[in-house]
């Protein structure tokens, strides 16, 4: 049958049918993608929906608003589990090149996938080249690229096959609040929680218990708050210093061409 022979009513019905099928396919695809997304992404989408509802609610019938608002918001427990999940994928261990991973790690670091690098706390014992062990057991060598203040940055080679992880957003020190929840994954893979107890010129003071130097601390959205530089005093160096480390042009240790860091977007 030639589509040009269809009447206006038939064309209208055909359009409605195509639109209906397309909407069903879009809904199925959206649900499938949300099932595969990390918890923190789903939580962000839920928050956007909540804010959208608050904006358009006055123009909607009361029955529709009641139905939408009744959808459960993510609990604090969900937020904690989601943030710890994304940070767990970014928490790595540093070993000497010839050392076995069955021996204690030299340090703990945070993997920054977008720039193919690892940030950790500066230490006299850290050599220029080390092995990085990821949570999935994969091991890749890295080279010290930059040291700024209390932080060190290691870069992977261009050919290194790195596991997937979410690039953390850096939370500016000025945006932090007293009493804000902070979370961390220790070097042994265990999780711990605390709050920000003080913010001053020395750094971010927290109540995180027994967290090793080099461990990254995140907020409830999985954003990077800082790096532990003093485990005894539970002190973090803020993300402003991490941003400065990434963008700094003054390199104290130059990496070979095989260990260059991708440009920050």
The DSSP call for residue 74 is P
Q: What percent of the chain is modeled with pLDDT above 90?
A: 52
Q: In Å, what is the CA distance from 255 to each residue of 28, 107, 241, 252, 261? A: 47, 20, 21, 10, 9
Give the count of domains, the chain.
3
CATH number at residue 154: 2.40.10.10
196-209 confidence digits (pLDDT tens): 999 999 999 999 98
Q: What angle do CA 230, 232, 236 make, to 5 degrees?
A: 35
Same domain? 181 vs 229: yes
94 falls within a domain: yes
* 235: containing domain: 173-243
pTM of the model: 0.66
Same domain? 117 vs 232: no
57 falls within a domain: yes
More confident residue, 219 or 45: 219
**How many CB atoms lie under 10 A from the CB of residue 222?**
25
Which of 16-25, 203-212, 242-251 is modeled with the greatest confidence? 203-212
Query: In whole angstroms, what is the distance from residue 216 CA to residue 213 CA?
Result: 9
Q: What is the pLDDT of residue 14?
A: 73
In this predicted structure, the answer to whether residue 256 has a pLDDT above a threshold of 50 is no
- Round the average pLDDT of the chain to a whole number and report it: 82
188-198 confidence digits (pLDDT tens): 999 999 999 99
């Amino acid at each position: 049958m030639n589509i040009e022979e269809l009447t206006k009513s038939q064309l209208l019905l055909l359009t409605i049918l195509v639109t209906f099928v397309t909407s069903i396919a879009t809904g199925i695809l959206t649900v499938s993608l949300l099932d595969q997304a990390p918890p923190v992404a789903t939580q962000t989408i839920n928050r956007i929906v909540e804010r959208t509802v608050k904006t358009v609610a006055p123009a909607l019938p009361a029955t529709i608003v009641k139905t939408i608002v009744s959808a459960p918001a993510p609990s604090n427990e969900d937020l904690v589990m989601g943030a710890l999940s994304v940070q767990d994928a970014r928490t790595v261990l540093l070993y000497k090149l010839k050392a076995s991973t069955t021996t204690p790690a030299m340090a703990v670091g945070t993997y920054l996938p977008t720039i193919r690098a690892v940030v950790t706390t500066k230490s006299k014992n850290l050599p220029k080249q080390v092995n990085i062990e990821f949570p999935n057991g994969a091991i890749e060598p890295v080279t010290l690229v930059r040291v700024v203040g209390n932080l060190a940055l290691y870069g992977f080679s261009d050919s290194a096959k790195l596991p997937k992880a979410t690039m953390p957003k850096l939370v500016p020190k000025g945006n932090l609040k007293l009493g804000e929840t902070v979370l961390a994954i220790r070097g042994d893979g265990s999780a711990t929680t605390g709050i920000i107890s003080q913010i001053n010129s020395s750094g971010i003071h927290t109540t995180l218990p027994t967290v090793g130097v080099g461990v990254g601390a995140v907020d409830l959205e999985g954003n990077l708050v800082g790096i532990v530089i003093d485990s005894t005093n539970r002190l973090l160096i803020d993300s402003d210093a991490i941003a400065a480390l990434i963008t700094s042009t003054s390199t104290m240790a130059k990496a070979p061409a095989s260990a260059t860091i991708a440009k920050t977007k």
